[in-house]
Amino acid sequence: MNRFAELLDRLSYEPGRNNKLRLITSYLHRAEDPDRGFALAALTGALSFKHAKPGLIRELIAARSDPVLFALSYDYVGDLSETVALMWPSSLPLPSGERSTGVAQRSRSGEGDLPDRTELTPSPGSRLAAQADLSPEGRGEERRRNDPTPTLTDVVTTLATLGKAELPAQLARWLDELDETGRWALLKLVTGSLRIGVSARLAKTAAAALGDKDPHDVELIWPGLAPPYLELFAWLEGRADKPVNRDPAPFRPVMLAHAIADADFGNLDAADYIAEWKWDGIRIQAVSGADQHGQIVSRLYSRTGEDITNSFPDLLPSLRRPGAIDGELLVLREGRVQTFNVLQQRLNRKTVTSKLLKEYPIHLRAYDLLSDGENDLRTLPFEARRGKLEAFIAELDDPRIDLSATIPFDDWERLSAARKDPVSAGAGLDADAVEGVMLKRRDALYLPGRPKGQWWKWKHDPHIIDAVLMYAQRGHGKRSSFYSDYTFGVWTDGEGGDVLVPVGKAYFGFTDEELLQIDRFVRRNTAEKFGPVRHVVHAPDQGLVLEVAFEGLARSPRHKSGVAMRFPRISRLRWDKPPRDADRLETLQRLLD
């Protein structure tokens, strides 16, 4: 448990994706079965047990500490699990040599004022794990005999079967046995608040790296695996064959498009391509299949393979026909596609209320068919798959699922016109939710990743405004020595004339060279510092104008300006432009109407 805790601890501070990967892979390499399997389950969110309530944790610490000292400590630390982890009375003597020997010869191992812990009994968890023989090579057992601290396996297997009444005493025993970091990780785990910035996808990628495998392959077999993933590790370490995915509704790695540039069209023949709208929703895969009892199992996956079924229960009844649809989740009201801002209300919700389902009815717009019943269609050309998709959707005949329409065109000019005016090119009243067009080769097989020359996305040109840099903040990780997060504003009427009002934040879009230039500008033109934030000089004739590109604008009562930008990024530095010539808030407000 302590080793897993060290990993979580390190991950919680590490901002870089590649470094996170390295940390996880290194842990999986060093840790033993089945511990590492349960760790992988914890990181991918595959562990499930009843969570302990904060009230229980409070009771445990209250029985072991002075209430005034606890209150002062909690106030200082600010997090319950962490406070308890840090101030839990320690039962382990410190290693000799740590404390110095002054004239008083005092040594901390005496600990006369702490309760006597010599009668520690082994936790039931270790016995349970031993009986279950989850450690085939016995390596874990070997270690456990010399080490009283619970393993992650002890914790997970015990929690799975532990009665509610036994939880407090068991938790207390574990807290006695673990060190500060171990206690912190345990409390985060049992209270279900393990947030360390690692996605399931990242954890699986780290596992794949253990055996130099393609993360897609791990993703493919994943639904058929269960913690502690012994067969997965056996395969990754070359000790066994690849596990077979027996899941009736597996995820298939997604095919993605390249952004098209003007120069690309010269090499492309319009006749080779089919075009359709690029809808501004959430790309998903909806998969249904029959299990061994003939029951239909349906799942929704994000484009990275995360199971998001539970967020969209309203779509499940429509997925009764075995197959795998590649499509876009949208919100439809009275037959009209709503903008992404509306769809956003359905995202990242902990609970899906019936009110939410009613106000934001979900819809699937189908782009592609990857399997039809038992038949894998991915090796067919797109045009053939499209035919199968049309038949599939027609037979399904469900109001919640429809076909993504194709755009008729003979040459690039016609398509360009359609892209500029989706309303009259067939998108009609749904045009607000169109973010461009997609081009797919008629003969393109469904290939995972971003294969060259097969699919292209041709997005709308972004909105562009000129805004003034107002505040700059230090970045994280590699950028921690750079002022790389910028708040920018536009002019509006103030009491004593024009004033700048912040309209957004951006932290990418610029080149490394531009970053250096802005950083230098920020350091030389700082009016005030507030902690990590610098107030950068911004007056009508003094300051830096940033050209900001963004995808859309929504009303936002939370922002002083009343607007919120979608996907803003710095597209150009306008050293040539005095701040007074930057855009005004009215320009943005017109975009809203």
Partner 1 sequence: MSPTPAYITGMRPQDILLPVAAGLCCKPGGFHIDPVRPVERAVITHGHSDHARPGHGAVLATHETLDMMRLRYGENFAGSTQAIRYGEELRLGDVTVTFHPAGHVLGSAQIAVSCGGTCIVASGDYKDAHDPTCTPFELVPCDVFITEATFGLPVFRHGDAAGEVDKLLASVKLFPERAHLVGAYSLGKAQRLIALLREVGYDAPIYLHGAMEKITNYYVGRGVPLGELRAVKGVKKADLAGTITLAPPSATSDIWTRRFPDPVTAFASGWMRVRARARQRGVELPLVISDHADWDGLTKTIKATGAGEVWVTHGQEDALVHWCTAQGLRARPLDLVGYGDEDGDAALASSEAAEA
Nearer to partner 1, 6 or 217 (CB): 6
Q: What's the one-letter identity of residue 409? A: F
Beta carbons within 10 angstroms of residue 404's beta carbon:
20
Nearer to partner 1, 14 or 35 (CB): 14
How far apart are CB 576 and partner 1 at their closest, in Å?
A: 27
Give the pairing type, strands 401-403 and 362-372. parallel
Backbone angles phi, psi at 252, to 5 degrees: -120, 135
Q: Which of 431, 323, 304 is nearest to 368 (CA)?
A: 323
Q: Is 175 left (phi over 0), alpha (psi -120 to 50) or beta?
A: alpha
Nearer to partner 1, 98 or 493 (CB): 98
How far apart are CB 22 and partner 1 at their closest, in Å?
A: 6
Nearer to partner 1, 105 or 353 (CB): 105
Cα gap 402→356, rounded to integer Å: 22
CB within 8 Å of 471: residues ≥ 6 apart: 486, 487, 502, 533, 534, 535, 536
How far apart are CB 86 and partner 1 at their closest, in Å?
A: 4
Backbone angles phi, psi at 242, to 5 degrees: -65, 130
Nearer to partner 1, 185 or 469 (CB): 185
CB within 8 Å of 460: residues ≥ 6 apart: 419, 434, 435, 436
Nearer to partner 1, 179 or 264 (CB): 179
Check if the beta carbon of residue 23 is closer than 8 Å to that of residue 11: yes
Measured over the CA atoms of residue 21, residue 26, residue 29 and residue 35, the dihedral's sign is negative
Nearer to partner 1, 24 or 325 (CB): 24
Check if the beta carbon of residue 502 is closer than 8 Å to that of residue 488: yes
How far apart are CB 553 and partner 1 at their closest, in Å?
A: 32
Q: How many residues does the chain have?
A: 593
How far apart are CB 66 and partner 1 at their closest, in Å?
A: 7
Which one-letter DSSP state was computed for residue 95?
A: P
> Angle at Cα 87 formed by Cα 81 and Cα 90, nearest 5°?
120
Instruction: Give Dmax (Cα) for the chain.
Output: 95
| Beta strands in 228-280, from DSSP E residues, in sequence order | 258-259, 273-279
How far apart are CB 480 and partner 1 at their closest, in Å?
A: 5
Whether the upstream peptide bond of residue 243 has omega within 30° of 0, thus cis, is no
Nearer to partner 1, 196 or 268 (CB): 196
Nearer to partner 1, 136 or 532 (CB): 532
Q: List residues near partner 1 by CB under 8 A.
A: 6, 10, 12-15, 19, 22-23, 26, 65-66, 68-69, 72-73, 76-79, 82-83, 86-87, 90, 94-95, 97-104, 106, 108, 179-180, 474, 476-478, 480-481, 523, 532
How far apart are CB 110 and partner 1 at their closest, in Å?
A: 9
Nearer to partner 1, 68 or 271 (CB): 68
CB within 8 Å of 2: residues ≥ 6 apart: 149, 178, 179, 181, 182
Nearer to partner 1, 12 or 341 (CB): 12
Nearer to partner 1, 103 or 263 (CB): 103
How far apart are CB 73 and partner 1 at their closest, in Å?
A: 5
User: Residue 55: in which H helix or E strand, if any?
Assistant: helix 54-62
Backbone angles phi, psi at 467, to 5 degrees: -125, 165
How far apart are CB 520 and partner 1 at their closest, in Å?
A: 10
How far apart are CB 530 and partner 1 at their closest, in Å?
A: 13
How far apart are CB 268 and partner 1 at their closest, in Å?
A: 39
Cα gap 325→395, rounded to integer Å: 14
Could you give the count of Cα atoms lying within 13 Å of 31 in the half-sphere of its Cβ?
Answer: 29
> Angle at Cα 150 formed by Cα 147 and Cα 152, nearest 5°?
125
Cα gap 379→248, rounded to integer Å: 20
How far apart are CB 408 and partner 1 at their closest, in Å?
A: 51
